[in-house]
């Protein structure tokens, strides 16, 4: 079973809309076709961003948390500092969490700091993909 870390941009999109590939990844998690991994930081950041920008969607987020047995990967400060050698400091906890979670894929919408950075995939020992690409890869491997 594939292991996929979803960052707060993907979790936000999945709670915000009942359509799209971010939501499709969540549905695969509900169907137990993949193991979804997140961190406490992702949970907090997503709740905060939804409260600021779309508070009406918070019940959808809480329902996602009730339906999916997320695995939580919270890195140590040392693991975050190691990741900070690879990516900007604000994104180091995400990269460190994904690495700690031994994921096959880090799903993100962050084009600037994560996508199309092969050195980060090497550090992670996994792929960094947009939700659409993660979803398609998972379906082709079933």
What is the domain count for the chain? 1
For residues 73 and 43, is the Cβ–Cβ distance under 8 A? no
For residues 36 and 70, is the Cβ–Cβ distance under 8 A? yes
Look up the pTM and report it.
Answer: 0.95
Least Cα distance to 74 among 108, 109, 49, 99 occurs for 99
pLDDT of 5-62, one tens digit each?
999 999 999 999 999 999 999 999 999 999 999 999 999 999 999 999 999 999 999 9
Domain housing 27: 2-141
* CATH number for the domain that contains residue 38: 3.40.50.1010
Q: Could you tell me the strand order of the sheet in which 71-72 lies? A: 71-72, 34-38, 2-6, 105-107, 127-129
Tokens read off for 109: 């919408």
For residues 84 and 92, is the Cβ–Cβ distance under 8 A? yes
pLDDT of 114-141, one tens digit each?
999 999 999 999 999 999 999 999 998 7
3-class DSSP assignment, residue 76: coil
Question: How many of the other CB atoms lie within 10 Å of CB of 2?
Answer: 17
3-class DSSP assignment, residue 110: coil
């Amino acid at each position: 079973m594939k292991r996929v870390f979803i960052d707060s941009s993907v979790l936000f999109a999945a709670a915000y809309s009942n359509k799209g590939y971010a939501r499709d990844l969540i549905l695969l998690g509900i169907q137990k076709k993949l193991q979804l991994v997140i961190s406490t930081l992702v949970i907090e950041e997503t709740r905060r961003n939804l409260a600021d920008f779309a508070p009406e969607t918070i019940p959808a987020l809480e329902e996602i948390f009730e339906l999916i047995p997320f695995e939580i990967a919270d890195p140590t400060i040392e693991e975050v500092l190691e990741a900070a050698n690879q990516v900007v400091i604000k994104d180091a906890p995400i990269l460190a969490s994904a690495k700690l979670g031994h994921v096959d894929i880090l799903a993100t919408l962050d084009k600037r700091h994560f996508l199309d950075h092969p050195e980060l995939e090497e550090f992670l020992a996994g792929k960094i993909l947009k939700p659409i690409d993660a979803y398609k890869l998972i379906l082709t491997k079933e």
